[in-house]
């Protein structure tokens, strides 16, 4: 049986998804075929509808799978197109959103099945049932849409990670994915999404309850992935551990980086959480070859962090984590949100002040402009005028965030220069800023060149329009 996976919004390595690679390996081990099409984001770019349907027609799959690990609406939109063109091919949806709300996913009416939970075993059983012409209901972990009704499948426990076959890197053009990422190859050491709470246990190694949500792949299998990638692909400059929090368990982290160092001297990057990070953790990472550690901070205002971005942490915890990382010589990355639902202009400035205080190696911002929804949901004071002011400030920050951070620099020259610049920007109305916004990247690049020659440390736009990077960083 041939199973075709269609992925619409990959998070991580372009054109590659660890979950699909595991599913493909399980299917192939059972004697089935598997392939993947990345529809909306890939090294070669997004596919048009005609290109997508032409490829599906050429492959003639027996089952089409859709990943809803990022956004369910994208999976539904893709499934509608496939159903219209190929109504005879059964369709299944899986991923985090399908697991969280399988009834809602199936109620869209475009999927025949939903995989709830880990799918290696369930998908193989479904493929075998369909190949044999048997009734596919009754498979644990598989919910069915039948005659406008949802038929619930029995729950299925987690798979045994020790028994999984090696990931199928060949399901996609992994070399193209590496090249698009400038030589960085993606790795995954764990499965599950940690739910980090307020309490901390284990000597600061993991947040209470978070570790129970995560299962670690055997370290040996992760290192086998490293060996496989180094032995089969070129232009590998380093590895990206894409786990949400690699530092949950110090014992596991210490074992992982020790074995990693025995295999390669290439650097790696990882994600952490301020509640799962201290001086010892920083030293383990630095000694193991970590180059950059990333933290999700949400916002500078404690209220916004707790109520809107759900990043439960204190300023003291943030300061301590970034202090420990800096002392160990680690490059840091901070992710923040601009315009979270209900966030005021004053609260936005608190995030600017936070970034300026912790001085990360780089920071990324995601724009979430609540607009009228924020007013309705939070009862924003000041009515329409306050809303318009807020929306304009979101636009200014999203275009020139490094300038606002530089205006709080410890360097007097940098601080004066950018303070004057943002006073000009803040004085622009909607129409005037609309004409100026497109000039921000050019002016930012010019200022960067001048300040680098003058030996002044500052942030500038680099890599994309939503990343500010310290001028001393060379990559």
pLDDT tens for residues 271-294?
999 999 999 999 999 999 999 999
CATH for 2-160 (3.30.1330.60, 1.20.1090.10, 3.40.50.280, 3.40.1410.10): 3.40.50.280
What is the rounded average pLDDT of the residues 164-175?
94
Percentage with pLDDT > 90 across the chain: 78
What is the rounded average pLDDT of the residues 5-10?
73
Q: Which DSSP letter does residue 382 get?
A: T
pLDDT (0 to 100) of residue 374? 40
What is the rounded average pLDDT of the residues 207-217?
68
What is the rounded average pLDDT of the residues 434-456?
97
Mean pLDDT lowest for which of 31-35, 65-69, 187-191, 456-460?
Answer: 65-69
Residue 28 pLDDT exceeds 50: yes
Of 15 and 201, the structure prediction assigns the larger pLDDT to: 15
pLDDT-derived band at 312 (thresholds 50, 70, 90) equals confident
Stated as kind and residue range, the H or E segment containing 271 is strand 268-272
* Exposure letters 186-209 (e unless 16+ CB within 10 A, then b): bbbbbbbebebeeebeeebbbbee
What is the rounded average pLDDT of the residues 403-407?
98
**Structure token digits, residue 433:** 């800023």
Cβ 341 vs Cβ 373: under 8 Å = yes
Q: Nearest Cα to 41, choosing from 24, 18, 57, 17?
A: 17
Residue 12 pLDDT exceeds 80: no
pLDDT (0 to 100) of residue 204? 36
pLDDT-derived band at 212 (thresholds 50, 70, 90) equals low
CA trace torsion 257, 263, 269, 271 (10° rounding): -40
Cβ 225 vs Cβ 187: under 8 Å = yes
pLDDT-derived band at 364 (thresholds 50, 70, 90) equals very high
Residue 207 pLDDT exceeds 80: no
pLDDT-derived band at 308 (thresholds 50, 70, 90) equals confident
Domain boundaries, the chain: 2-160, 162-406
Q: What rounded mean pLDDT belongs to the chain?
A: 89
pLDDT (0 to 100) of residue 377? 41
Q: Which residue has the tokens 């070129």?
A: 234
pLDDT (0 to 100) of residue 15? 64
pLDDT (0 to 100) of residue 198? 37
Strand, helix or coil for residue 383: helix
Residue 475 pLDDT exceeds 80: no
Which H, E and C letters describe 245-257, residue by residue? CCCCCHHHHHHHH
For the chain, first and last CA: distance in Å? 45
pLDDT (0 to 100) of residue 216? 96
**Structure token digits, residue 346:** 């004053």
The pTM of this model reads: 0.87
What is the rounded average pLDDT of the residues 55-59?
95
Percentage with pLDDT > 70 across the chain: 90
Q: d(Cα 446, Cα 450) in Å, to the nearest integer?
A: 6
Alpha-helical (H) ranges within 189-249 are 219-232
pLDDT (0 to 100) of residue 195? 61
pLDDT tens, position by position, 88-137: 999 999 988 889 899 999 999 999 999 999 999 999 999 999 999 998 88
What is the rounded average pLDDT of the residues 62-68?
93
Q: 107, exposed or middle or buried, with CB in 10 Å at 0-12, 13-18, 19+? A: middle
Mean pLDDT lowest for which of 205-214, 258-267, 380-389, 459-468?
Answer: 205-214
Q: Which DSSP letter does residue 110 get?
A: S
Residue 62 pLDDT exceeds 90: yes
pLDDT (0 to 100) of residue 102? 94
Taking the CA of residue 44 as centre, how many other CA atoms within 13 Å lie in the half-sphere pointing to its CB? 10
Residues 302, 306, 311: CA angle, nearest 5 degrees: 95
Strands 467-470 and 362-367: antiparallel
Stated as kind and residue range, the H or E segment containing 151 is strand 149-151
Q: d(Cα 382, Cα 340) in Å, to the nearest integer?
A: 18
**Which residues partner with 435 through β-bridges?**
none
Q: d(Cα 398, Cα 401) in Å, to the nearest integer?
A: 6
Residue 40 pLDDT exceeds 90: no
Residue 351 pLDDT exceeds 50: yes
Q: What CATH code would you report for 162-406?
A: 3.80.30.20
Residue 79 pLDDT exceeds 70: yes
- Fold matches, 2-160 and 162-406: no
pLDDT (0 to 100) of residue 370? 46
* Exposure letters 234-243 (e unless 16+ CB within 10 A, then b): eebebbbbbb
pLDDT (0 to 100) of residue 179? 93
């Amino acid at each position: 049986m041939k199973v075709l996976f269609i992925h619409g919004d990959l998070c991580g390595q372009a054109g590659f998804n660890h979950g699909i690679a595991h599913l493909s390996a399980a299917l192939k081990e059972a004697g089935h075929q598997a392939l993947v099409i990345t529809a909306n984001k890939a090294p070669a770019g997004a596919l048009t509808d005609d290109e997508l349907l032409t490829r599906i027609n050429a492959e003639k799959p027996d089952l089409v799978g859709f990943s809803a690990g990022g956004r369910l609406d994208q999976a539904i939109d893709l499934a509608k197109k496939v159903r219209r063109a190929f109504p005879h091919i059964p369709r299944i949806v899986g991923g985090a959103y399908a697991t969280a709300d399988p009834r809602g996913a199936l109620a869209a009416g475009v999927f025949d099945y939903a995989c709830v939970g880990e799918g290696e075993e369930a998908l193989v059983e479904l493929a075998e049932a369909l190949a044999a012409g048997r009734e596919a209901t009754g498979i644990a972990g598989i919910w069915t849409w039948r005659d406008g009704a949802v038929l619930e499948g029995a729950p299925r426990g987690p798979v045994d990670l020790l028994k999984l076959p090696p990931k199928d890197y060949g399901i996609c053009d992994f070399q193209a994915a590496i090249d698009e990422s400038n030589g960085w190859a993606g790795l995954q050491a764990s499965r599950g999404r940690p739910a980090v709470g307020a309490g901390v246990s284990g000597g600061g190694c993991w947040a209470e309850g978070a570790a129970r949500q995560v299962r670690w792949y055997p370290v040996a299998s992760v290192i086998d992935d490293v060996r496989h990638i180094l032995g089969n692909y070129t232009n590998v400059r380093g590895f990206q551990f894409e786990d949400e929090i690699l530092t949950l368990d110090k014992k596991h982290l210490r074992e992982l980086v020790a074995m990693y160092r025995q295999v390669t001297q290439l650097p790696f990057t990882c994600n952490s959480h301020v509640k799962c990070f201290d001086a010892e953790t920083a030293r383990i990472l630095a000694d193991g070859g970590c180059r950059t550690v990333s933290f999700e901070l949400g916002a500078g205002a404690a209220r916004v962090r707790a109520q809107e971005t759900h990043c439960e942490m204190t300023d003291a915890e943030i300061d301590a984590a970034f202090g420990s990382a800096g002392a160990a010589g680690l490059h840091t990355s901070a992710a923040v949100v601009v315009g979270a639902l209900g966030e005021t202009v004053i609260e936005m400035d608190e995030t600017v002040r936070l970034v300026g205080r912790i001085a990360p190696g780089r920071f990324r911002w995601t724009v979430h402009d609540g607009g009228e929804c924020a007013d309705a949901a939070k009862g924003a004071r000041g009515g329409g005028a306050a809303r318009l002011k807020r929306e304009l400030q979101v636009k200014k920050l999203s275009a020139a965030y490094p300038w606002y951070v530089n205006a709080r620099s410890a360097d007097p020259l940098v601080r004066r220069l950018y303070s004057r610049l943002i006073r000009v920007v803040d004085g622009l109305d909607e129409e005037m800023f609309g004409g100026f916004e497109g000039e921000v990247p050019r002016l930012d690049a010019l200022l960067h060149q001048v300040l680098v020659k003058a030996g002044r440390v500052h942030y500038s736009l680099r890599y994309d329009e939503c990343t500010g990077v310290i001028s001393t960083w060379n990559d």
